[in-house]
Amino acid sequence: MSGERASIEVDEFLPHPPAKVWRALTDPDLLARWLMPNDFKPAVGHRFTFAAQPIPNIGFDGTIECQVLTLDEGRLLRISWAGGGLDTTVTWRLVPEGHGTRLFIEHAGFDMDDPVNAFAFRGMGSGWRTRIFPALQTALTKQT
């Protein structure tokens, strides 16, 4: 039986058009620049992996197993995200705003009764805000 579930929710304005942000989310080479090396393909049902830094002390080998669950071109991408004791989902939702894009991220399904999940929730919560968004912003600025 699983306990209380928690989600990380972040939204950020990016001064780039939705099509450019979408490309950064769905082009595997661009995705690798700001998130992790991967074999992503923008197709519902596609299974892929992210290659993260291993964390041996919690039994994480660095492989994140994913599958594309929902794909609404230019608007919504939802993937499963499993590895190192996690069985979660990540959703990116793009909303045009002025001359840019409001990007909403929800990383959902952390079991807060599980110490590994609680540890990941704390680390990833700050990571989405302090590392991932700045890296995405840098990738978008350099993207042609």
Q: How far is CA 87 from the centre of its chain?
A: 13
Parent domain of 118: 5-142
Q: How far is CA 60 from the centre of its chain?
A: 17
pLDDT tens track, the chain, 144 positions: 456 899 999 999 999 999 999 999 999 999 999 999 999 999 999 999 999 989 888 778 999 999 999 999 999 999 999 998 899 999 999 999 999 999 999 999 999 999 889 988 998 888 898 999 999 999 999 876
Q: Residue 28's domain is classified under what CATH number?
A: 3.30.530.20
Q: Is the C-alpha dihedral spanning 56, 36, 131, 108 positive or negative?
A: negative
* Distance of alpha carbon 35 from alpha carbon 1, whole angstroms: 32
Q: Is the pTM of this model over 0.95?
A: no
How many domains, in total, are found in the chain? 1
Is the distance from CB of 48 to CB of 40 less than 8 angstroms? yes
- pLDDT confidence of residue 84: 85
Q: Write b or e for each residue in 87-108: b if 16 or more Cβ atoms lie within 10 A of its Cβ, otherwise e.
A: ebbbbbebeeeeebbbbebbbe
- pLDDT confidence of residue 2: 55
- pLDDT confidence of residue 144: 62
